[in-house]
A and B are shown apart, each in its own frame.
Chain A
Amino acid sequence: MVSSSRLAAILCFLIALAGGIPIFAWLETFPRLVFAAGLIIGILQEFKGRWHLKNWQFNLTLVPVFIWYALQYSNRNPIQPVVSVLVIMLAARLCGEKSIRNLMQINLLALFCLASRSLFELNPLFLVWLALLLLLVPVSLVVLTFHAQDSAMSFTRKEVNRVVLTALLITLLTVPTMALLFPILPRTAFPLWTFLNPTVAGSTGMSDKVEPGTVSSVAEARVLVFRAEMAQQLTPPYWRGTVFNTIHGSRWTRTATVPSETSVPAGRPVIQTIYPEPSSSKILIGFDAPAEIRLPFVRMSPDLVFDYQRGLGRRMGYVVRSGADGLLRTSKAINRNFYLKVPEGTSPLIRQLAEGIKRTGATDQKRLELVEQHFLNGGYRYSRIGLPTGRDAIHQFLFVSKQGHCEFFASSFALLLRASGVPARLVGGYLGGEYNEVGGYYLVSQDMAHVWVEAYIAGKGWVRTDPSRFATNAGAVWNTDQKRSLAARLRLLVDALDYRWNRSIVTYDFESQVSQLRSAGNKLQALEQMIKARWKGLLIVFSGVIVLLVLFKLRLQRFRHNQEYRLLKRFRQVLKTKYGPGLATENKGLFELAAATNDEQVKQFVAIYAAAIYQDKPLGQDEIRQLRKLLDELSASDDTAVISR
């Protein structure tokens, strides 16, 4: 047994928690402390006897807080003061007296607190909290309804269960409405707070330059960059982003004016949809070698680098068509000189090595193979620590330390190619990705950022070569056959949920609404045509349904009065056989019939039957038995009827 006031109080603390916890991380220190204190004081008051603090005293203390935050409010800082005031008000109500009015206010304030979370962040966790509140608030409302009627009321466990069940039903009833409203209501694809105060998003892990030798170690950051919805590939996929075509010293950068070329990705076309995480980047990434990205405001460079003018600041998705062979076919010759530039200060040892290759190999293809041979046999190790640093880092990597990460491999490889007369450039992107079977997409994180080389082979085109693959420990680094632990699988599952949330809730924007409406219109048209084509069949089906409905209704009515109907029918039948057909068929009342027959049993039958019918009472079991008995007697006493049968 639990009293209604105690139950209401417990519920209000739970609701306050469900409203307060989601917003807690975004609060300033003072409101955080006030909220925690309010909750603790409230619980202490509830369970350790009441403190004599009146509500108006709390309200009075709120006034300076209000004034303070009102002064804080500005165009640049519109959200924090409002949210802080909300939380402080909630805290004050939690400490105060738990009247019905206050409890309702707590419910409302908690809902507002949760709602204000969406100003800071939109993620699926919001849904969890919302579901919790949507369940708790109706329970609280039902309990409060009882509490309002009788404050001394108490609930048994069974009754509490029933209240919860009722609230659950209320919540469930709202679901169809929500589903109906979801496609219609206007929405935002990004948190309002970010929209008002754009925060700088993290970099993609793919920088705008490649400069090995600036740091001695690279930290791995497992931050999601994008998801790519597509079929799983047999080999770790390459995600092509940008191209670095110019080298200064040891630094590779991208010259915006790319010499014209006619590159077309070769191989079977692969269509994929990429959902990048919001970032400050403008480069659109695609699988292997993207040929086409279907998105407005996209600028394509001749070397197949795609820039999105609007930036990837908000959640979105785009469709990419790629070739899967890692080869860009060119129909015309390229500007070879542009891709053969080698910096002045290249170390003589490198030049010497390159000269050797140039002399041995006559064609681009041969020279490429020789460079590959050098890397394969050179004993280079892939490493993210103990990296060579300084201006001659490439020289150090090639001839001394022989260990480095992909940037070292790629830039030295490309430099060697260029020095030996093969046009080459660096490609920045990502390698690999964790395939999520649940969601059917690749998860690509920042630590998968990668740099590789495209070498130009005359008569063939740009060929992708990844020098990091020639490292002695390449197999260990890019081991794809790792067994996934349970935690990893769980993480993938959660990510799939997050992905679904972003795909179908957050990025469901005005365009999607319009397309949905349009498709609805199309479906309507299709329906119209379908009706035109098969109206006869539909008419038959429709009339069949109507007939069924009518029959069903009739049956229902009959069923309702079944007992009476059957008794009356039999009564008439009996009278007909006993007194001739003229009697019962006329439009006569029951008492008229009884008077006409002047039969004691008929009179009894009518008295019992009419008393039930005309007093709107259902016939009791005893009465029905009695009436049946009378009818049996009536038909049995009819000797002529027996003989005629």
Chain B
Amino acid sequence: MDISHAVKPISLLVDTLCTDHLQGKDEVVRLAVIAMLSGGHILIEDLPGLGKTTIALALAGATGLSFGRVQCTSDLLPTDITGLSVFNRGDGHFSFIPGPIFNNIVLLDEINRAMPRTQSAMLEAMEERRVTVEGTTHQLPDPFMVFATQNPSDQSGTFLLPESQLDRFLICTGIGYPPEALERSIISSGGIREQIAGITPLVSVNEILAARRAVSQEIYLSDKVVGYIHALVKATRTHPLVQIGLSTRAAISLAQAARAAAFLAGRSYVAPDDVKGIASAVCAHRLVTRAGQATNRGELLREIISSIPLPLV
């Protein structure tokens, strides 16, 4: 299968973003693109000021997709996100004003500050890819991708997303501080917000949709790799430190993300390496560790992965 024509624009997008605009954030950009290609959403869990919003903006700008932003607070209402009907006096009837969710890329900033009621309304829209307001169903645009962020350190007055909601994010990742030299250059050159506003789109919507089709249809997933994924999922279920292991949905998501990763690597088949490379981002946030075990879930997952032999023959 020849997927090179579909890969080309996407790899150009990733390369440009990583080298020109988002230095040092290669991994997050790659994960974001993987989430976009497999039709999933991404949750970025890190401290403020590390460039979460910048990444979302840069991605939206470089893909030419529409961008919406919701800053979550405790008094945010579901209709603030979905939109609402307003009485138009001139026409004499209600007309629907779409909310910020009606965009291709939606940034939900500090999602854990919103009330559970609002959170669940958002997450439902993420899952269903449509919004029902006052009895009318409105389809969300395609492609549709949510960039959610949450601040793990400042816990007062927040509503932590429960595990079942976390499960709806394909990928959950942190950003981390940039390397020293890079940070120095960033300090000296200042922020890049203005620069991002001027990014010219590198790919068209059609190219993105074609790439997504290629990911879902033309990437071969061998039984050996399926066996590897299954072995991984099974290992999490029997690990002594894990209370609830990975669900079947997690395994499906892992396979999807691995397909997208293989696509990004320019291959028409999934290698166990793809699974291994993406597993931490896809699965760590879905693990429920045993109470009293203060283990980093990412570390735990890496440990489990390293214990499973890769199918090499």
Cβ-defined contact, A589 with B220, below 8 A: no
Whether A592 contacts B276 by the Cβ 8 Å rule is yes
B78 CB, min distance to chain A CBs, angstroms = 44
Within 8 A of A (CB), among B176-202: none
Q: List 25 A-B contacts (CB under 8 A).
A: A561-B313, A565-B313, A568-B312, A587-B306, A587-B309, A589-B272, A589-B312, A590-B312, A591-B265, A591-B271, A591-B273, A591-B274, A592-B273, A610-B271, A611-B267, A611-B269, A613-B222, A613-B224, A613-B311, A613-B312, A614-B222, A614-B269, A615-B220, A615-B222, A616-B223
Given contacts A564-B313, A589-B271, 4 further A-B contacts (CB under 8 A): A565-B313, A590-B273, A614-B224, A615-B222
B310 adjacent to chain A (CB < 8 Å): yes
Digitize A342-360: 1 where CB-to-B-CB distance is under 8 Å, 0 elsewhere: 0000000000000000000
What string of 1s and 0s marks CB contacts (under 8 Å) between A562-573 and chain B?
001100100000
Within 8 A of B (CB), among A556-590: 561, 564-565, 568, 587-590
Check if B270 is an interface residue, CB within 8 A of chain A.
yes
Which residue of B225, B276, B308, B309 is within 8 Å of A614 (Cβ)?
B225
Task: Give Cα A523 to B155, complex, Å.
Answer: 82
Q: By the criterion CB–CB under 8 Å, are A568 and B272 in contact?
A: no
The 10 closest A-B pairs by CB, nearest first: A589-B273, A591-B273, A615-B269, A614-B222, A564-B313, A614-B269, A589-B272, A589-B310, A616-B222, A615-B220
Check if B276 sits within 8 Å of A589, measured CB to CB. Answer: yes
Chain A residues within an 8 Å CB radius of B220: 614-615
Closest to B225 in A: A614
Question: Which residues of B (243-270) have their CB < 8 Å from a CB of A?
Answer: 265, 267-270
B 214-251 binary contact with A (CB < 8 Å = 1; else 0) = 00000010111100000000000000000000000000
Bound: A564/B312 CA distance, A: 9
- Beta-carbon contacts of A613-626 to B below 8 Å, as 1s and 0s? 11110000000000
Say yes or no: A568 contacts B313, CB within 8 Å. Answer: yes
B225 contact set on A, CB distance < 8 A: 614
Q: Within the complex, what minimum Cβ distance (angstroms) separates A597 from chain B?
A: 14
- A561: chain B residues within 8 A (beta carbon): 313
Give the nearest-CB partner of A592 in chain B: B273
Q: How far is the CB of A619 from chain B (nearest CB, A)?
A: 11
Cα distance A613–B271 in the bound complex, in angstroms: 9
Within 8 A of B (CB), among A183-227: none
How many B residues, CB 8 Å from partner? 23
Majority secondary structure of chain A interface residues (helix, strand, loop or mixed) = helix
List residues of chain A with CB under 8 Å of any chain B CB: 561, 564-565, 568, 587-592, 610-611, 613-616
Contacts of A613 in B (CB 8 A): 222, 224, 311-313
Residues of chain B with a CB closer than 8 A to A588's CB: 310
* Complex-state Cα separation, A590 to B272, whole angstroms: 8
Give CA–CA (A589, B267) in the complex, Å. Answer: 15
Q: Which residue among B224, B270, B272, B309 has the maximum number of chain A CB atoms within 10 Å of its CB?
A: B272
CA distance A614 to B307 in the complex (A): 21
Give bound CA distance, A589 to B275, whole Å: 10
Residue of B nearest to A571 (CB): B312
Which has the most chain A C-beta neighbours within 10 Å: B269, B270, B310, B311? B269
Collect the chain B residues with CB atoms within 8 Å of residue A568's CB. Answer: 312-313
A615 neighbours in B (Cβ, 8 Å)? 220, 222, 268-269
B residues apposed to A, CB below 8 Å: 220, 222-225, 265, 267-274, 276, 306-313
The interface centre, meaning the residue of B268, B271, B309, B312 with most chain A CB atoms within 10 A of its CB, is B312
CB of A87, distance to nearest CB on chain B (Å)? 60
Closest to A610 in B: B271
Question: Once the chains bind, are B313 and A614 in contact (CB under 8 Å)?
Answer: no
B269 proximity list for chain A (CB < 8 A): 610-611, 614-615
Q: How far is the CA of A588 from the CA of B224 in the complex (A)?
A: 16
A445 vs chain B, min Cβ distance (A): 75
In the complex, residue of chain A having the shortest beta-carbon distance to the beta carbon of B220: A615
- Report the bound CA distance from A561 to B224 in whole Å: 14
Are A614 and B306 in contact (CB-based, < 8 A)?
no
Q: Please, which residue of chain B has its CB at the minimum distance from the CB of A586?
A: B306
Q: Which of A589, A610, A616 has the most CB of B within 10 A?
A: A589
Q: How far apart are B275's CB and chain A's nearest CB, in angstroms?
A: 9
Given the complex of chains A and B, what is the CA–CA distance between A591 and B223 in angstroms?
A: 18
Task: Please give me the residue from chain A that is nearest to B309 by CB atom.
Answer: A587
Residue of A nearest to B275 (CB): A589
Nearest CB in chain B: distance from A210 CB, A: 91
A610→B313 CA distance, assembly (Å)? 9
Which residue in chain B gives the minimum CB-CB distance to A606?
B271
Nearest neighbor of B1 in chain A, beta-carbon distance: A615
Task: State the Cβ distance, B226 to closest chain A Cβ, in Å.
Answer: 11
Interchain nearest-CB distance for A558 vs B (Å):
10
A614 to B224, CA, bound (A): 7
Q: Chain A contacts of B265 at CB under 8 A?
A: 591
B contact residues around A564 at 8 Å (CB): 313
Tell me the smallest distance from the CB of B311 to a CB of chain A, in Å. 8
Bound: A588/B268 CA distance, A: 21
Contacts of B271 in A (CB 8 A): 589-591, 610, 614
Question: What's the least CB distance linking A392 to chain B, in Å?
Answer: 106
CB distance from A554 to the nearest CB of B (A): 14
Across-interface contacts of B273 in A (CB, < 8 A):
589-592
Of A564, A588, A613, A616, the most chain B CB neighbours within 10 A belong to: A613
Residues of A within 8 A of B224 (CB): 613-614, 616
Residues of B within 8 Å of A589, CB to CB, are 271-273, 276, 310, 312
Contact A587 B313 (CB under 8 A): no
**CB of B265 to closest CB in A, whole Å:** 7
A588–B272 Cα distance when bound, in Å, is 9
Question: Min CB distance, B79 to chain A, in Å?
Answer: 48
B276: chain A residues within 8 A (beta carbon): 589, 592
Cα A564 to Cα B311 in complex, Å, equals 12
Q: CA A130 – CA B276 in complex, angstroms?
A: 66
- In the docked arrangement, what's the CA distance between A613 and B270, Å? 10
Interchain CA distance A611-B267 in the complex, whole Å: 8
Contacts of A587 in B (CB 8 A): 306-310
Q: Give, as a whole number of angstroms, the nearest-CB distance from A419 to chain B.
A: 106
> Considering the chains assembled together, what is the distance between the CA atoms of A614 and B221 in angstroms?
8
Residues in A with CB closer than 8 Å to B313 are 561, 564-565, 568, 613
Which residues of the other chain, A, contact B310 by a CB distance below 8 angstroms? Answer: 587-589
Q: How far is the CB of A569 from chain B (nearest CB, A)?
A: 10
CA distance A590 to B277 in the complex (A): 12
What's the Cα separation between A565 and B313 when bound, in Å?
7
Tell me how far the C-beta of A607 lies from the nearest C-beta in chain B, rounded to whole angstroms. 8
A614 to B268, CA, bound (A): 10
**Cα–Cα, bound, A588→B220 (Å):** 21
Q: Which residue of A lies closest to B223 (CB)?
A: A616
For the complex, give the distance between the alpha carbons of A614 and B228 in Å.
12
Contacts of A592 in B (CB 8 A): 273, 276
Give Cα distance in the complex from A611 to B270, angstroms: 9
Q: How far is the CA of A589 from the CA of B224 in the complex (A)?
A: 13
Bound form: Cα–Cα A616–B271 in Å:
11
> Please, how many angstroms separate the alpha-carbon atoms of A561 and B308 in the complex?
21
Report the Cα distance A613→B311, complex, angstroms: 9
In the assembled complex, the CB of B76 is this many whole angstroms from the nearest CB of chain A, namely 43
CB distance from A138 to the nearest CB of B (A): 39
Could you say which residues of chain B place their CB within 8 Å of the CB of A565?
313
Instruction: Kindly list chain A residues whose C-beta atoms are within 8 Å of the C-beta of B274.
Output: 591
Q: Report the separation of the CA atoms of residues A332 and B311 in the bound assembly, to the nearest whole angstrom.
A: 98
In the bound complex, CA of A265 to CA of B194 (Å):
132
- A589 to B306 Cα, complex, angstroms: 11
A565 to B312, CA, bound (A): 9
CB distance from B72 to the nearest CB of A (A): 38
Give the distance in Å from the alpha carbon of A615 to the alpha carbon of B270 in the complex. 8
CB A504 to nearest CB in B, in angstroms, measures 54
- A350 to chain B minimum Cβ distance, whole angstroms, is 107
Chain B minimum-CB-distance residue to A612: B269
Chain A residues whose CB sits within 8 angstroms of the CB of B272 once the complex forms:
589, 614
Identity of the chain B residue whose Cβ is nearest the Cβ of A561 in the assembled complex: B313
A560 nearest CB neighbor, chain B only: B313
Name the distance in Å between B219's Cβ and chain A's nearest Cβ: 10
Q: How far is the CA of A610 from the CA of B266 in the complex (A)?
A: 13
